[in-house]
Structure 1
Amino acid sequence: MSNKVVHAIYNDDDILLDAVKKTKAAHHHIEEIYTPFPVHGLDKAMGLAGTRIAICAFLFGITGLCIYASLLKFIMIEDWPQDIGGKPSMAFYQNMPAFVPVMFEGTVFFAAHLMVITFYMRSKLWPFKQAENPDVRTTDDHFLMEVGVHGNEEELVSFFKNTGAVEVKVIDKH
């Protein structure tokens, strides 16, 4: 059994968005869409589920806040208390206003760096990974929609030509 897919290539993001809506309405399964830039509303048109990345960012930020608060408490209160600007060094809550900028920066540092790592892991973008782009024009000015063929090759080709595709190819994917 061959794994054939149709590559419908578009040269305008609005035409692509309209074609995605028509493809979903016709109950064809979209394997992937390759675009040179993010297309607003494409995820909704494809029916993709919402992302939970904001929850990860919040948890990473809370982790950074806790680590930096613990670090400041240990260093500035327990390990090496100092009288800086007349502030007492007896308790963490007494020095908290002076620690807020450092804790804020720690929160942002942890959230930003761990979000980048999470994004790369989730996207499977490892160092030295080969590109999976089927057509080099999609990195410049074209958009490609990949739809699986299930015995309806001629129907799909004519369907995508009617949606405004500038080029429609049937590819045997290995």
Structure 2
Amino acid sequence: MAFNTIVETLPAMGRFSLRCKRENTVAMSKALGFELPSTISELVRSGNVTALKLGPDEWMLTCPMDERAKIKEPLAAVYADAVHSLTEVSSREVSIRVSGPEAEELLSTSCPRNLRELTVGCGVRTVFDSVQVILTREEQNQFRLDVWRSFVPHVMGLLSVATKEFECGL
């Protein structure tokens, strides 16, 4: 059986770490034009903007690089009424997509999480080997790893070795 899983880095994207109190999420959702997810690991998409709830008061917002103002400007406009912390972290991380029929199995070589329990459209903070990552299941056989830039060579190296082992039938 051929190994048909693809590992690729994705183009740069706008990324923001958003922190706020629960009572401010209504105003922030209104400003963004979509409801922020309320359940940890829930991902909401509105056009080209996504919001992933990572913790009780934490979201990762992403968008194309040239659309970052769609996040920054509306949230800055409501700051006085809905105090929050919005930090742009676009240059901090790189996204790696793993897609294909063996994607889940390939990621399982270095991720201790039971990936079968991660449903499509959900994401979590986890580890890949010893590296903290945000792992999102985009489709049944497609995942995105958001990795701090300095750890990308390590993660890509592990994925490359695992891919070669699968190709050899190990």
Higher relative contact order (CA 8 A, sep 6+): 1
TM-score over 0.5 for the pair: no
More helix by share: 1
TM-score, structure 2 normalization: 0.27
